[in-house]
Amino acid sequence: MLELIPNQLGFPLLSLMIFVPLAGAVILLAVRDARAARWIALLFSIAEIGLSVPLLANFDGSIAHMQFGESLPWIKDWHINYRIGVDGISVLFVGLTALLTTISIMVSWTAIQDRVREFMIAVLFLEAGMIGVFVALDLFLFYIFWEAMLIPMYLLIGVWGGPNRLYAAIKFFLYTLVGSVLMLVAILAVYFSAGGTFDVLALMNHPFGHTFQMWAFAAFFAAFAVKVPMFPFHTWLPDAHVEAPTAGSIILAGILIKMGAYGFLRFSLPFFPSAAISWTPAIMTLSVVAIIYGAYMAFAQTDFKKLIAYSSVSHMGFVTLGIFALNSQGVEGGLLQMINHGVSTGALFLAVGVIYERTHTRMIADYGGIAAKVPVYAAYLLIITLSSIGLPGTNGFVGEFTILLGAFQYKAVYAVIASLGIILGAGYMLWLYQRVAFGTVTNPHNEHLQDMNLREIAAALPLLVLVFGVGLYPNAAFQVMHASTENLIKHVQAKAALAPVAAQAANALLGQ
């Protein structure tokens, strides 16, 4: 049974992490000057990274409990509390959010010239929402952050996006909203079914009947599967990625789509384990379909960003495959792969952003042979490409390998098909790199291409460190998450074994 360990630091660390970006956004409201707006936003996002240092340093990976807990009454009539905390599943995402937000602000330094202040407000507001989603331990609070995030993301895509941005923005908004509102009804049903509580930790231990679990799981699935996005619900992602500005793409790929998988781990599995087990074959199948389909579609793309978007669909298929293998390798691999994908895809979109700012085209055919002109950029792109493929020594390898181990334990056939996805992934990524970097310069516009400047290198460097850091020493990450994932697996198995009993007891009660 998980507990909420109160925050031992002298200051409310997690609350600060939520409210510092918000404070930044409010201060920006009063700023008129674009240059000042950039610097203020950067300062606040760096402060956020500063806050994540004590978080990671003081986090105790040996216990599964929720740490740095804060709990305040909020809406007493509905038994809603402002209740936050992190465990091994969420703590890394908090750090990743802080990092990727700062990188997003840095890459937007010159790329965003129109309404800079509003842009920075949206990014900071988004950051607060994302941190909130990962630390919320009250379903209502979680839902508030979950939905509130839609506003800045919608504006980021719609205002600062590409030519087809309106369509992409509204599609993103409506897809996610429809999924979320179904989850809202399920949240209410869960609330009443559990006797009136939104407390996530209490709900984890509540024995819901099997039929109820099946329906509630399906409703939560609607929200999370759209966000991940899993195979038939993925169509918003390529549009949103292609049209979003670089910063939007980085955040979208790095953090936002991880929230779906995070939702599975935090809510769906612990709340409805027996339903999860019943749904597993379907979800595993959808996952491998996503892996193969995403890879197949990636081959056909001529647009740099669209290719990465479809590769995301494929990679997120690995994540769900690992999670629903429901064993410790699978879940840990899935969790690590989420972080890895955040790092490497964030880095890939950064690469696209850098080149797009110079050439104003995303068509792969317009590049060709730029390695000779921009060696630093080409080296950077190569490293990221290899990480995305999952070359040993990079982060991608560790994650995918662990997932395959987990999937193999569940059923060998899934692991075999998924491995095919890795091979396809190597194919389209290397082909992409070849088309972009090698050969002779085919496009005369690229003759005088500028290489990456210092600001861009500074933005990219932390990602490269993570690529090799996690790749060479994955235990650092595993240690943080191990206790929590072990506990999750144990909890799911124990509670799933309990559920039929609870259902029988309920039926017996109703029968009388």
Partner 1 sequence: MLTSVQEILKQLVPIYPEFVLIAFALSVLVVDMFLNGRYTHLLGWYSLIGIVIAASMTIILGGVQGAFFSGTVLLDPFSQFFKLVFYLACGLGILIAMKYLDIEDIHRGEYYALMLFATAGMMLMASAGDLITIYLGLELMALSIYVLAGFMRKDSRSNEAGIKYLLLGAFSSGIMLYGMSLLYGLAGTTNLDGILAFLRTADLKNPVLFLSMVMLMVSFGFKVAAVPFHMWVPDVYEGAPTSVTAFMSAGPKVAGFAVLLRVFTHTLDPLHADISLLLSGLAVLTMAVGNVMALSQTNIKRMLAYSSIAHAGYALVGVAAGGQEGAASVMLYVLIYAVMNMGAFGVVIMLRKAGMRGEEISDFAGLGKTNKTAAFLMLIFLFSLTGIPPMAGFVGKFYIFKSAVQAGMIWLAIVGVLFSAISAYFYLRVIMLMYMYDPKEEFGLVQSPALALALAISVTAVIVIGVYPTPVLEFARASVAGLL
Residues in contact with partner 1, counted by CB under 8 A, come to a total of: 33
In the shown chain, the binding pattern of residues 88 to 127 toward partner 1, with x for contact by CB under 8 A and - for none, equals ---------------------------x------------
Terminus-to-terminus CA distance in the chain, angstroms?
32
Which stretch, 42-50, 142-150, 234-242, 497-505, contacts partner 1 (CB under 8 A)? 142-150
Residue 348 in tokens: 């890939």
Interface residue with partner 1 among 192, 440, 448, 454 (CB under 8 A) is 192
Which stretch, 40-48, 83-91, 181-189, 327-335, contacts partner 1 (CB under 8 A)? 181-189
Would you list the DSSP string of 61-107? Answer: TT--SEEEEEEEEEEGGGTEEEEEEE-TTTHHHHHHHHHHHHHHHHH
d(CA 470, CA 478): 10
Which stretch, 183-191, 202-210, 224-232, 276-284, contacts partner 1 (CB under 8 A)? 183-191
Q: Which is nearer to partner 1, 188 or 412 (CB)?
A: 188
Q: Report yes or no: 316 and 386 within 8 Å, Cβ to Cβ.
A: no
- Residue 244 CB, nearest approach to partner 1 (Å): 13
Q: If binding is defined by CB under 8 A, does position 177 make contact with partner 1?
A: yes
Q: If binding is defined by CB under 8 A, does position 34 make contact with partner 1?
A: no
d(CA 128, CA 174): 22
Interface residue with partner 1 among 34, 56, 182, 464 (CB under 8 A) is 182
Interface residue with partner 1 among 23, 42, 49, 144 (CB under 8 A) is 144
Secondary structure of the chain: what % helix, strand, coil (to 5)? 80, 5, 15
The one-letter amino acid at 209: G
Footprint on residues 157-176 left by partner 1 (CB under 8 A): 158-159, 165-166, 169-170, 173-174
d(CA 247, CA 159): 13
d(CA 151, CA 99): 21
Interface residue with partner 1 among 74, 109, 431, 468 (CB under 8 A) is 74
Interface residue with partner 1 among 184, 364, 372, 382 (CB under 8 A) is 184
- Residue 247 CB, nearest approach to partner 1 (Å): 17
Interface residue with partner 1 among 10, 30, 35, 76 (CB under 8 A) is 76
Which stretch, 150-158, 257-265, 323-331, 445-453, contacts partner 1 (CB under 8 A)? 150-158
Interface residue with partner 1 among 181, 382, 441, 483 (CB under 8 A) is 181
Q: Quick one: DSSP state of residue 267?
A: I
Q: If binding is defined by CB under 8 A, does position 26 make contact with partner 1?
A: no
Interface residue with partner 1 among 148, 379, 426, 441 (CB under 8 A) is 148
In the shown chain, the binding pattern of residues 240 to 279 toward partner 1, with x for contact by CB under 8 A and - for none, equals ----------------------------------------
Cα→Cα distances 433→53, 178, 377, 385, Å: 35, 37, 12, 7
Residue 234 in tokens: 């993925």
Q: What's the CA angle centered on 464, arms 462 and 465, to 5 degrees?
A: 65
Would you list the DSSP string of 453-474? Answer: -HHHHHHHHHHHHHHHHHHH-T
Q: Which is nearer to partner 1, 161 or 260 (CB)?
A: 161
SS3 of residue 284 by DSSP = helix
Q: If binding is defined by CB under 8 A, does position 36 make contact with partner 1?
A: no
Which stretch, 178-186, 280-288, 327-335, 396-404, contacts partner 1 (CB under 8 A)? 178-186
- Residue 25 CB, nearest approach to partner 1 (Å): 12
Interface residue with partner 1 among 178, 423, 476, 498 (CB under 8 A) is 178
Q: Report yes or no: 223 and 142 within 8 Å, Cβ to Cβ.
A: no
Residue 173 in tokens: 């908004």
Write down the residue that tokens 């909890």 correspond to: 491
Q: Which is nearer to partner 1, 170 or 483 (CB)?
A: 170
Which residues are 67's β-sheet partners? 86
Q: If binding is defined by CB under 8 A, does position 189 make contact with partner 1?
A: yes
Q: Which is nearer to partner 1, 3 or 33 (CB)?
A: 33
Q: Quick one: DSSP state of residue 438?
A: S
Residue in 396, 416, 427 with CA at minimum distance from that of residue 297 = 427
Residue in 88, 134, 57 with CA at minimum distance from that of residue 481 = 88
Residue 376: other Cβ atoms inside 10 A: 13
Residues that bind partner 1 (CB under 8 A): 74-78, 115, 140, 143-144, 147-148, 150-151, 154-155, 158-159, 165-166, 169-170, 173-174, 177-178, 181-182, 184-185, 188-189, 191-192
